[in-house]
A and B are shown apart, each in its own frame.
Chain A
Amino acid sequence: MEWLQKHMPKMVLAPSFMAILLFVYGFIAWTAYISFTRSRLLPKYEIEGIIQYERLAQSPRWDVAMTNLAIFGILFIVISMVLGLLLAILLDQKIRTEGALRTIYLYPMALSFIVTGTAWKWILNPGLGIELVIQGMGWESFEFNWLTDPNMAIYTVVIAGVWQASGFVMALFLAGLRSVDQEIIRAAMVEGVSTPRIYRSIIIPSMAPIFMSAFIVLSHLAIKSFDLVIALTGGGPGYATDLPATYMYTMAFSRGDLGQAASSATVMMMVVMAIIVPYLYSELRSRHDG
């Protein structure tokens, strides 16, 4: 009985620990292993070296996916951050209807990316969508066919992604703005520092951890982005809007090419780790110190 009491915490944690060990770390290891084999429809377990990675490197489709990830990732993160910060600062000016506005800015985050994609697919519809609205306003020659233009389609994903996530960034930044020590701000005001200057020199620099968090979340969203592309463009036209996530899915479930699926997933994992590991490391460390 005493023994049971003493070891109860470990026993409670054990199932989750086993689950995570197997279903996260075991699976990652499995996928990484498969990425070094010639698995097609079924997994094969003979190691064949980096053949799958060579195939990735030579695949024009993967090239497009990675380029798209770079375009989408950078634009999505930068625009969401800028927009989010701008909205947060504007909302921080004792706005009477702040509560309502905040609710409006943030509601897209409650939606599924599939819903967002469906809505924007309709809005950006060449012919019936926004194009027609602008033409109806008198600009007869206005054309807006990014959705079907292979060179521009990836930017529609950015538009929809920013629409969904920027409100969330706003909420993060607003919380950050509000948590800045009021005494420092008062001290600066007493010294006659102008308001924009206070934001630029005092408040925003002190929000570095929030920028970090926002960056982590957004980059994480960007790398995982799958549903949005599927719903908005289906990866098309052709494979013009493929991202690594959709590439992996296509290889795994349509092409029956497990080796390619595994290697692309492993590359995604690497990208995420390159961003997350230093972040988590510093977070966990700082908690131990404090």
Chain B
Amino acid sequence: MSNLILSIENLYKSYGATEVLKDINVSIQRGEFLVLVGPSGCGKSTLLNCIAGLEEVNAGAINIGGRDMVGVAPKDRDIAMVFQSYALYPTMTVGKNITFGMKVRGVDAATQAKKLADVAKLLQIEPLLNRKPGQLSGGQRQRVAMGRALVREPQLFLFDEPLSNLDAKLRVEMRTEIKRLHSNLKASIVYVTHDQIEAMTLATRIVVMKDGIVQQIGTPSEIYNHPANMFVADFMGSPSMNLIPATVEALPTGLAIKIKQENGTLELMDDTKIKGLKMGAKRELLIGLRPENITNPTANSRLVAPCRIEVVEPAGSDTFITTSLGEKPITARLRADTVVSPGAEIDLAFNLASASYFDAGNGERLN
């Protein structure tokens, strides 16, 4: 058996004249946890529905477990799906919800009972089996929905924003639980969410989408540290990456990047990184720096500049401050014990080694 569980090639999907998925190419290996993430309307749920066979595609191929899925009904795709609204059958008990699929497929009663018992034990929902969905809390419903998927033991699990209807605390708990299930069961999962933290914490690989186009595919660390374009940089991470407008100037000593400041200009000289930029003739760019790369200066800090503090937001473990660079608000992440107050000036250290550079025109990454 091949290790390639799912492969999608040149997939297109449109509703009437509006294209919702454009040239999607994604594949996942056995045991991978692939997260599709993007703002609402980016096509991620549509893509999941296409994988499940709940929506037809206009062009392109979907392979699951090496089988072409054209014309294959959802039930024959060897998948299981967990929905945002859980989609529990309201008139059936929890037990019946979990066994309904087996019943439809004609699995014998003894097997049904055994599998139900196994799943109920795994998810710790044994006491709930005779209740109706209406009598369950959100978290319990979520577990039942997962139970219904797990009992199928499919090649591929599909999760459609399964946690977004839960309150914040429960969401974090269930996130951990899903991660544990994934590593225990060695399951292959495609998981849709709009929550970038969920994507970062759960995924082995992330697909960032926008307007039906894949923006970047990579591990969480690749996505976080080397965003392919400004959209990814801005969308992933919280608070999001600072994008500081700057200009490139050729000085006798070499190339320099200049950032407008409140009074005067901040100049970044002859960094080797700058030389490597695929700049062409353009002079405008944006420097992407995560808040953690703008911090309290230390003895080794190479670039330190005074900045005026506009807003202070203590977050307990850190203190975030907002200042202005290139006429845009910039967030810096300082040690929690830093004594700061709005209006004051403070020296900030810029860690350019981690910086991303983006084309001011098309937003593509330059380094």
B interface list, Cβ under 8 A from A: 71, 73
Assess whether A183 is interfacial by the CB under 8 Å rule: no
Assess whether A141 is interfacial by the CB under 8 Å rule: no
0 or 1 for each of A1-39: is its CB under 8 Å from B? (1 = yes): 010010000000000000000000000000000000000
State the CA gap A2–B72 with chains docked (Å): 9
3 contacts between A and B (CB under 8 A): A2-B71, A2-B73, A5-B73
State the CA gap A5–B71 with chains docked (Å): 12
In the A-B complex, the 3 residue pairs with the smallest Cβ-Cβ separation, listed nearest first, are A2-B73, A2-B71, A5-B73
Interface size class of A (residues with CB under 8 A): under 10
State the CA gap A5–B73 with chains docked (Å): 10
Name the distance in Å between B51's Cβ and chain A's nearest Cβ.
19
- Tell me which residues across on chain A come within 8 A of B73, comparing CB atoms: 2, 5
A interface list, Cβ under 8 A from B: 2, 5
Name the distance in Å between A32's Cβ and chain B's nearest Cβ.
34
State the CA gap A226–B73 with chains docked (Å): 53
- Tell me which residues across on chain B come within 8 A of A5, comparing CB atoms: 73
Closest residue on chain B to residue A2 by CB atoms = B73
Name the distance in Å between B57's Cβ and chain A's nearest Cβ.
15
Name the distance in Å between B123's Cβ and chain A's nearest Cβ.
32
Name the distance in Å between A3's Cβ and chain B's nearest Cβ.
10
Closest residue on chain A to residue B76 by CB atoms = A2
Closest residue on chain B to residue A3 by CB atoms = B71
State the CA gap A141–B117 with chains docked (Å): 88
State the CA gap A157–B367 with chains docked (Å): 85
- Tell me which residues across on chain A come within 8 A of B71, comparing CB atoms: 2
Name the distance in Å between A10's Cβ and chain B's nearest Cβ.
15
Closest residue on chain B to residue A1 by CB atoms = B73
- Tell me which residues across on chain B come within 8 A of A2, comparing CB atoms: 71, 73
State the CA gap A2–B73 with chains docked (Å): 8
Name the distance in Å between B74's Cβ and chain A's nearest Cβ.
11
Closest residue on chain A to residue B71 by CB atoms = A2
Closest residue on chain B to residue A6 by CB atoms = B73
Name the distance in Å between A64's Cβ and chain B's nearest Cβ.
53
Name the distance in Å between A9's Cβ and chain B's nearest Cβ.
14
Name the distance in Å between B69's Cβ and chain A's nearest Cβ.
13
State the CA gap A2–B56 with chains docked (Å): 14
Closest residue on chain B to residue A5 by CB atoms = B73
Closest residue on chain A to residue B75 by CB atoms = A5
State the CA gap A286–B214 with chains docked (Å): 33
Name the distance in Å between B92's Cβ and chain A's nearest Cβ.
22
Name the distance in Å between A76's Cβ and chain B's nearest Cβ.
43
Name the distance in Å between B197's Cβ and chain A's nearest Cβ.
31
Name the distance in Å between B56's Cβ and chain A's nearest Cβ.
10
State the CA gap A204–B114 with chains docked (Å): 60
State the CA gap A37–B188 with chains docked (Å): 73
State the CA gap A72–B73 with chains docked (Å): 59
State the CA gap A53–B28 with chains docked (Å): 73
Closest residue on chain A to residue B72 by CB atoms = A2
Name the distance in Å between A109's Cβ and chain B's nearest Cβ.
32
State the CA gap A289–B71 with chains docked (Å): 32
Name the distance in Å between B15's Cβ and chain A's nearest Cβ.
13
State the CA gap A142–B71 with chains docked (Å): 83
State the CA gap A5–B72 with chains docked (Å): 12
State the CA gap A2–B71 with chains docked (Å): 9
Closest residue on chain A to residue B73 by CB atoms = A2
State the CA gap A124–B73 with chains docked (Å): 68
Name the distance in Å between A243's Cβ and chain B's nearest Cβ.
46
Name the distance in Å between B105's Cβ and chain A's nearest Cβ.
15
Name the distance in Å between A2's Cβ and chain B's nearest Cβ.
6
Name the distance in Å between A132's Cβ and chain B's nearest Cβ.
59
Name the distance in Å between B279's Cβ and chain A's nearest Cβ.
46
Name the distance in Å between A6's Cβ and chain B's nearest Cβ.
9
Name the distance in Å between B271's Cβ and chain A's nearest Cβ.
53
State the CA gap A249–B73 with chains docked (Å): 55
State the CA gap A157–B71 with chains docked (Å): 63
Name the distance in Å between B67's Cβ and chain A's nearest Cβ.
15
